Amino acid sequence: MQKLLDTLSHIPSEASECVVKDMKATAGLVVWLFALSQGMDTPCDGRREGALCYGPLGGEIVLSLVDEDTFRFEWLKGKFALLKVKDNKIKERAERFSFTPNNGMLKIENLMRNDSGNYSLNTFNKLGIELQSRTLQLVIEDPVISVHLVSKCQFQGKQPVTCLPKGGDNLQYSWSLNKKTLQDSDLLSGDVQANNITLKQSISGQLVCSVKNNVSEIQKEVFVSCVFINCTSNGTLISEWLPEINETLCDTFIDGSKSNQGNNYLLIMGGVLSALFILLMIGLAVVYKQKKNQSSIEDEEELTYANVRINRQPRRANKEIEDVMVEYGQVRFSERPRRTVVVNNDPSTYAQVRRDR
């Protein structure tokens, strides 16, 4: 290309001006074909009967209409002819249309809503006899321009997220977390194919919302992580669930309380499980002790009943025992002469009681 431009400098001005115009058109065609070869603007194959092609509103579309050896054809929308070609020469074409006879490519620029509809292509031989007629449906969609993600932290660490696209028709949504497809099990509510979801408390990481339709696709990502912040900031008390980035606002944390929803949940569950375990052990100990006491009582009763014996002794022995008991009851005391104690009415005499020996 540069060599051709250098050559133009040696051509007279009038001739050069005409050549430059032709070269600019050729250069533009080369750039367009290069873009096609690189897949930057993949053409829609309209050579099939009933082909369906999508174009972006305000953008452009490339259609593969005919094969290279097609002698004559016309492309119509309803009864209006938009393009007529005969012997590789354009006989008629509408504005915004550019056609390359060598490869049968049609480019339509500045697409509008009313470009949507059904088109028909009729081919003829050199005698003007119609060889084939086929249809094509063209759909114009508004492309997605941008996407905005809004995430919040609510009570108990719930995280509602909304994906807000700008522009776009017939949009489809998909989500990923940390480069993995988001699952319904990661949600408290919503659908992974919707633009509004609510993440569980334990979910954190790089969240990506993808929005696409048939003519465009765009993504937006945001880091999601909610923590419970209990601190002071410029003398103001903050005690609520907030995005993790808000920790930088704190001057002093109260009681060192700065925990994410996962740790808080684990602590609560751990306390509950510990209490249940302790109660279970106490219950088992009580049951075991009761069973052990009951077993001991039963064993003692069985032993007592087993050792009961009735011994029959001769009547003689009973008589001896009776004699012994009689003798034990006949204990005798020696009689001594009674002595009379003189009672003195003097009160002081009470303390001077004397015992005669």
Domain ranges of the chain: 45-141, 144-224
Contacts of 299 (CB under 8 A, 6+ apart): none
In this structure, of 94-98, 138-142, 212-216, 238-242, the range with the lowest mean pLDDT score is 238-242
pTM value is: 0.55
Report residue 248's pLDDT band, with 50, 70 and 90 as the boundaries: low
Q: How far apart are CA 46 and CA 103, in angstroms?
A: 13
% of residues, the chain, pLDDT over 70:
63
Query: Distance between CA 243 and CA 265 in Å, rounded?
Result: 17
Give pLDDT tens digits for 133-158. 999 999 999 999 999 999 888 888 78
Q: Which range among 176-180, 238-242, 285-289, 312-316 has the greatest average pLDDT? A: 176-180
Tokens of residue 18, six digits: 């005409």
Q: Is the pLDDT of residue 165 over 70?
A: yes
Find all residues with CB under 8 Å of 322, minimum gap 6, and list them.
none
Would you say the C-alpha torsion 161, 164, 168, 170 has a positive or negative sign? positive
Cβ atoms of residues 16 and 6 within 8 Å: no
For 23-60, what is each residue's pLDDT tens digit? 333 333 333 333 333 333 589 999 999 999 999 999 99
Q: Which of 117-121, 266-270, 278-282 is predicted with the least confidence, judged by mean pLDDT?
A: 266-270
Would you place residue 229 in the very low, low, confident or very high pLDDT band (cuts 50, 70, 90)? confident
What confidence tier does 226 reach under pLDDT thresholds 50, 70, 90? confident
Segment 326-331 shows an average pLDDT of: 44
The DSSP annotation for 164-232 comes to EEEE-SS-EEEEEETTEE--GGGEEEE-TTSSEEEE-TT--EEEEEEEE-SS-EEEEEEEE-EEEEEEE
Residue 347 pLDDT: 45
Q: Which position has the higher pLDDT, 316 or 272?
A: 272
Asked if residue 270 has pLDDT above 60, the reply is yes
Give the rounded distance of the alpha carbon of 116 from its chain centre.
38
For residue 215, pLDDT beyond 50: yes
pLDDT computed for residue 135 by the predictor: 95
Highest mean pLDDT among 3-7, 16-20, 211-215: 211-215
Residue 320's pLDDT is 43
Q: Which residues of 296-318 are buried (b: 16+ CB within 10 A; e: fewer)?
A: eeeeeeeeeeeeeeeeeeeeeee
Amino acid at 287: V
45-141 and 144-224: identical CATH topology = yes
Q: How confident is the model at residue 16 (pLDDT cuts 50, 70, 90)?
A: very low
pLDDT score of 341 more than 60: no
CATH 2.20.25.90 is held by the domain 144-224: no
What is the reported pLDDT for 77?
94
Residue 234 pLDDT exceeds 90: no
pLDDT for res 324? 43
Q: What whole-number distance in Å separates Cα of residue 142 and Cα of residue 113?
A: 9
Task: Give 236 or 106, the one with higher predicted confidence.
Answer: 106
Domain formed by 45-141, architecture: Sandwich (2.60)
Q: What is the pLDDT of residue 7?
A: 44
Which are the contacts of 88, defined by CB distance < 8 A and separation ≥ 6? 101, 102
Q: Among 127-136, 222-231, 256-265, where is mean pLDDT lowest? A: 256-265
Contacts of 195 (CB under 8 A, 6+ apart): 162, 163, 164, 165, 171, 173, 209, 211
Query: Per residue in 98-142, pLDDT tens?
Result: 999 889 999 999 999 999 999 999 999 988 899 999 999 999 999
Pairing of strands 144-151, 130-141: unpaired
